[in-house]
Structure 1
Amino acid sequence: MSIDETEGLRNWLIILPLTFIGIGAIVFLCLWQLDVVPIEHLKNSSKILTTKEFIELKRQGISSVIEALKIVATTFGGAAILFNVFYAAKRAKAMDDSAIAANKSAEAALDNAKAALKNAEAAQDKQITERFTKAIELLDSKNTSIRLGGIYALERIAKDSKKDHWTIMEVLTAFVRENALLKEEEIQQEQSPKIPTDIQAALTVIGRRDVDKDPENQGLNLQYTNLDGANLREANLQRANLSEANLQRAYLIEANLQRANLSEANLQRAYLSGANLEGAYLSGANLEGAYLRAANLQEANLIEANLQGADLSGANLQGAFLIEANLQGADLSGANLQGAFLRKANLQGADLREAENLEFEQLETAFGDSTTVLPDNLERPAHWTQAE
């Protein structure tokens, strides 16, 4: 029911009783003026009435009419009540109809919103696909600046689209592998050519990616690549496959290499200070002269690794596997060697002064000589008398 209809009904219900009261008053005044005589008196109409008798007859007649009017009024009131109930029911039904219509409108609006969202998502997916395709095309350009544009365009897409994040990382690692493939003639070189600008840009984007978007238990594939002198400072390379990669003089300061595969990688004179190498696989890796000061090598696999002359001062080697590792001339001062496996490790010339949690039993399984500097609280094993 509309507002105008409700207002009209309310006015009608006010006017109706007022009109009834007014009519009742008029009727009462008129009744007194009427010559109302009871039926019983009509039988004796020849009888002369006294004033008192006349007034009594008049009163009785009026009372009879009033009783009749009461019956009429009751009937009228009942009709008014029925009238009110009818319009109340009609108003309730109108309100229900309005609520149903409003609900249908809301459902339609929700359906329209869902459709609009779906269309927007489809448009966005189409736009991202077009951007992705264009960025891939830019990577094939012979112009370095254009290739850089493609690399940073892919980084932007990876930030905008979670579902495309890992695909883009795989594209960039493939780009590095194809364009920085380690060649046989470069393996023996003292120093490889400077890393290309576009390769460095791709590595930077990979290293600063949002790792929360990485699929579980997935790692980057950069194996057998030439990354000599690459700047990977604070890069997140956890679980990355860098086996046999050339990382000579690479800047990996405070990088995250947790559980990374660096087996047989060339890390000669690499900067790994403060890096997290917990659980990393470094079997057979060349870490000669590497800077590993305060690095976390807890439970790292360094079996047969070459750590000759490496700076491991303050490093955490707790539980590390240094079996048959070459630590000749390495600086292990202040390093935590709790539970480290040193069987057949070469400690000739190594500096172990103030090494923490180093036990005599560990030294007994290793090789050393008079050039090995030991903590004051540990004696030199008897078989160290002569260098092995």
Structure 2
Amino acid sequence: MTGLENPYLSVTVAISGIIISIIALHYNRKQTFAAEKSINIAQEGLKNGLIEQLRGAVDQLGNEKLEIRLGGIYALERISNESEKDYWPIMEILTAYVRENSSAEISEVPEVRKISPDIQAILTIIGRRKYSFHKGEDKRLELQGTCLQNADLIEAHLEGINFEGAHLEGTNFEEAHLEGAKLKKAYIGEAKFKKAHLEKANLIEVYMKKTSLVEVHLEGAHLNEAHLVEETNLMNAHLEGAYLMNAHLEGTTLGKAHLEGARLSGAHLEGAYLNEAYLEGANLINAHLEGANLINAHLEEADLSGTHLEETYLNGANLEKACLIETHLEGAKLYGVNLEGAYLNEANLKGAELNDAHIDGADLRGTLNFTLDQLSKVKTLYGATLSEDLCRLLEEKYPEKYQSLIKKSY
């Protein structure tokens, strides 16, 4: 009988194989356990190391030397990126440091000053942090009442941050993200917001002076009672659906700005530049626009009931189907204006210049101080509703003009 044919030998070989497999498995498990234990020890060491680093970095914030404070600030940034558990506490530590060391209370009415390097460093870190409000952060970062004048926050992510009552004069927010931020009663004079995102931001009672808001996005923002006086620039700004009730926009530049559906009731826009602005469907009830420039502006279906447009420039503006009931248009420049289908009931047109105006289908019943001379200078009035007396006088005095005016143009 050969070795291969010996059954006892086959059983022995099989048992040996099983024993070797068991030993190997036990050895691998032992190695795995040892590896896991090593990892746990390393993790515990790393955790303890981070705690020590965190303590050390916080201690550095209280140092008198700027370079040591900066070292602590950047160490905290590194830990916040490495440790999810420590991320939010570090953000709160950094914002608390700013509130404590750059409070507007340090000087009751702070003069515009240069921001300190440590505060700027923290703002830079906040602007580039890995999360933001509603995107990894459930709470707002609190920077209310701080003095952050002349800070550099270009392209910074500041969504939802609370800047209420903060002094931000001269700060550069160009292309920054401030969606949903709270800027109520903040001071942002001479700040730069070019192409910044302020959608749904709270700017109630904000103070703007010579602020640059060129091409800024303010869709749905709240600017009620905001002060945007003295050379504030909102050229090409997006203010669709924004709340600007009782806002002060005297002398503001809003050329080509998008204000479709904006709420501007009671707003002050005296002397403002709104040439070629888009105000379709905007609510301007009782707003003050005396002397404002609205040349070629788009005001289709806008509600201008009771609005003050005395001496306003509306040349070439489109007011098709706009509501101008009881509107003050005394001395307004309405050359070539489109008032087709507009409602001008009881509007005051004393001294208004309507040369070449289009008033087809407009409702002019009860219009105040609308003279025969003014009517004779309009371009078209087909289908317009006029008082019978005015129609009769026009037909009697200017029969040819009357026929040409009522003739529909195609």
Q: Distance in 2 between matches of 1:129 and 1:265?
A: 37
- 1:373 to 1:203, Cα distance in 2 relative to 1, 3 A: same
| Partner in structure 2 of residue 13 of structure 1 | 3
- 1:366 to 1:378, Cα distance in 2 relative to 1, 3 A: farther
| Partner in structure 1 of residue 403 of structure 2 | none
Q: Distance in 2 between matches of 1:362 and 1:349?
A: 19
- 1:178 to 1:353, Cα distance in 2 relative to 1, 3 A: same
| Partner in structure 1 of residue 224 of structure 2 | 303
Q: Distance in 2 between matches of 1:100 and 1:184?
A: 75
| Partner in structure 2 of residue 324 of structure 1 | 246
Q: 2:78 aligns with which of 151, 156, 165?
A: 156
Whether contact under 8 Å (1:254, 1:275) holds in the other structure is yes
| Partner in structure 2 of residue 102 of structure 1 | 24
| Partner in structure 2 of residue 147 of structure 1 | 69
Pairing 1:268–2:200 present: no
Pairing 1:344–2:266 present: yes
| Partner in structure 2 of residue 113 of structure 1 | 35
Whether contact under 8 Å (1:348, 1:372) holds in the other structure is no
Pairing 1:196–2:116 present: yes
| Partner in structure 2 of residue 258 of structure 1 | 179
Q: 1:378 aligns with which of 318, 321, 341?
A: 318
- 1:217 to 1:386, Cα distance in 2 relative to 1, 3 A: farther
* Secondary structure of the structure 2 residue equivalent to 1:226: coil
Larger Rg: 1
* Secondary structure of the structure 2 residue equivalent to 1:287: strand
Q: Distance in 1 between matches of 2:23 and 2:260?
A: 76
Pairing 1:369–2:290 present: yes
Q: Write out aligned runs for 1:54-93 (5 A).
A: 81=5, 83=6, 85-93=7-15
Pairing 1:177–2:99 present: yes
Q: Distance in 1 between matches of 2:219 and 2:112?
A: 31
Pairing 1:230–2:170 present: no
| Partner in structure 2 of residue 3 of structure 1 | none
Q: Distance in 2 between matches of 1:335 and 1:161?
A: 44
Whether contact under 8 Å (1:369, 1:386) holds in the other structure is no
Structure 2 gaps of 5+ residues are: 298-315, 333-410
| Partner in structure 1 of residue 90 of structure 2 | 168
Q: Distance in 1 between matches of 2:286 and 2:43?
A: 64
Q: Distance in 1 between matches of 2:167 and 2:264?
A: 26
Matched residue type, 2:125: V
Q: CA shift at 1:328, angstroms?
A: 1.3
* Secondary structure of the structure 2 residue equivalent to 1:100: helix
1:24-68 Cα shifts (integer Å, max 9, x gaps): xxxxxxxxxxxxxxxxxxxxxxxxxxxxxxxxxxxxxxxxxxxxx
Whether contact under 8 Å (2:276, 2:294) holds in the other structure is no
TM-score by length of 1: 0.73
Say which structure is richer in helix. 1
Q: Distance in 2 between matches of 1:323 and 1:97?
A: 86
Q: Distance in 1 between matches of 2:107 and 2:44?
A: 50
TM-score by length of 2: 0.70
The alignment covers a number of residue pairs equal to 306
Q: CA shift at 1:120, angstroms?
A: 0.8
1:346-386 Cα shifts (integer Å, max 9, x gaps): 12112222223x13663445221233324133359532538
Pairing 1:133–2:80 present: no
* Secondary structure of the structure 2 residue equivalent to 1:307: strand
Q: Distance in 1 between matches of 2:164 and 2:154?
A: 19
Q: Distance in 2 between matches of 1:111 and 1:168?
A: 35
Q: Distance in 2 between matches of 1:360 and 1:349?
A: 22
Q: Distance in 2 between matches of 1:254 and 1:110?
A: 52
| Partner in structure 2 of residue 249 of structure 1 | 170
- 1:328 to 1:184, Cα distance in 2 relative to 1, 3 A: farther
Q: Write out aligned runs for 1:353-364 (5 A).
A: 353-356=275-278, 358-359=279-280, 362-364=283-285
Whether contact under 8 Å (1:367, 1:384) holds in the other structure is no
Q: Distance in 1 between matches of 2:169 and 2:144?
A: 14
Whether contact under 8 Å (2:263, 2:282) holds in the other structure is no
Q: CA shift at 1:109, angstroms?
A: 2.1
Matched residue type, 1:130: E
| Partner in structure 2 of residue 56 of structure 1 | none
Q: Distance in 2 between matches of 1:212 and 1:370?
A: 43
RMSD over aligned Cα, in angstroms? 2.3
- 1:349 to 1:95, Cα distance in 2 relative to 1, 3 A: same
* Secondary structure of the structure 2 residue equivalent to 1:87: helix
Q: Distance in 1 between matches of 2:165 and 2:235?
A: 26
1:244-293 Cα shifts (integer Å, max 9, x gaps): 00001111111111111111111111111111111111111112221111
Q: Distance in 2 between matches of 1:361 and 1:285?
A: 21
* Secondary structure of the structure 2 residue equivalent to 1:341: coil
* Secondary structure of the structure 2 residue equivalent to 1:362: coil
Q: Distance in 1 between matches of 2:56 and 2:151?
A: 27
Q: Distance in 2 between matches of 1:327 and 1:173?
A: 33
Q: 1:206 aligns with which of 111, 123, 126?
A: 126
Q: CA shift at 1:229, angstroms?
A: 1.0
Of all paired residues, the percent bearing the same amino acid is 35
